[in-house]
């Protein structure tokens, strides 16, 4: 391929970026409209649903968000009463974050909508195609895993493979 043939609209990173942004924004309509959440806040809430009382660091390493971003997301969520921050009982540096009843309620509202959107997208292809789609994504991750210039995957995204 000579440089002159290079085309943005068929370039894999660009195509990924365009689809992701579109999906992401469409999803944000759901959790933004109903509860005024941003993506970081949404991720934190979902993580808490799974993992109970955890630290900022734990969220950071699990949901692909920078530490300050998690910290600020938690601050906002606390202000809105969706999570509770408690000083960790053991290690004095840690902050224990957990869902409140209101937080659980918010998730109960949003998750069905999120799942519905996901199903809309996945129902457009056959199960076989979808399986291949995910396999391809995984292979691309694997390429990056062995690339020293690439950022490592979060432990949780890796862990899923072993299950």
Partner DNA sequence: CCAAACTCGTTGCATTTGAAATGATATTGA
Partner DNA sequence: TCAATATCATTTCAAATGCAACGAGTTTGG
Between 57 and 153, CB nearer to DNA: 57
What is the Cα gyration radius of the chain? 18
Where do the H-state alpha helices sit in the chain? 12-35, 39-51, 56-62, 67-79, 101-122, 127-145, 155-162
- Please tell me the count of residues contacting a copy of itself according to CB under 8 A: 71
Q: Does 127 bind a copy of itself (CB under 8 A)?
A: no
Between 85 and 141, CB nearer to a copy of itself: 141
CB of residue 93 to a copy of itself, shortest distance in Å: 25
According to CB under 8 A, which one of 46, 84, 95, 102 is a site residue for a copy of itself? 46
Q: Does 120 bind a copy of itself (CB under 8 A)?
A: yes
* Residue 110, CA distances (Å) to 29, 38, 43, 91 in order: 11, 13, 12, 34
């Amino acid at each position: 391929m000579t440089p002159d043939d290079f085309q943005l609209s068929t370039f894999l990173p660009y195509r990924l970026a365009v689809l992701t942004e579109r999906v992401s924004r469409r999803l944000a309509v759901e959790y933004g409209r109903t509860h005024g959440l941003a993506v970081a806040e949404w991720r934190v809430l979902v993580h808490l649903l799974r993992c109970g009382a955890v630290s900022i660091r734990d969220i950071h390493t699990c949901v692909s968000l920078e530490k300050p971003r998690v910290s600020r997301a938690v601050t906002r969520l606390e202000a809105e009463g969706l999570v509770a921050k408690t000083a960790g009982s053991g290690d004095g540096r840690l902050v224990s974050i957990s869902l409140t009843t209101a937080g659980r309620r918010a998730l109960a509202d949003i998750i069905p909508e999120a799942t519905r959107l996901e199903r809309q997208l996945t129902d457009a292809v056959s199960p076989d195609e979808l399986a291949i789609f995910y396999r391809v994504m995984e292979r691309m991750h694997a390429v990056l895993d062995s690339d020293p210039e690439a950022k490592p995957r979060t432990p949780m995204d890796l862990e899923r493979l072993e299950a």
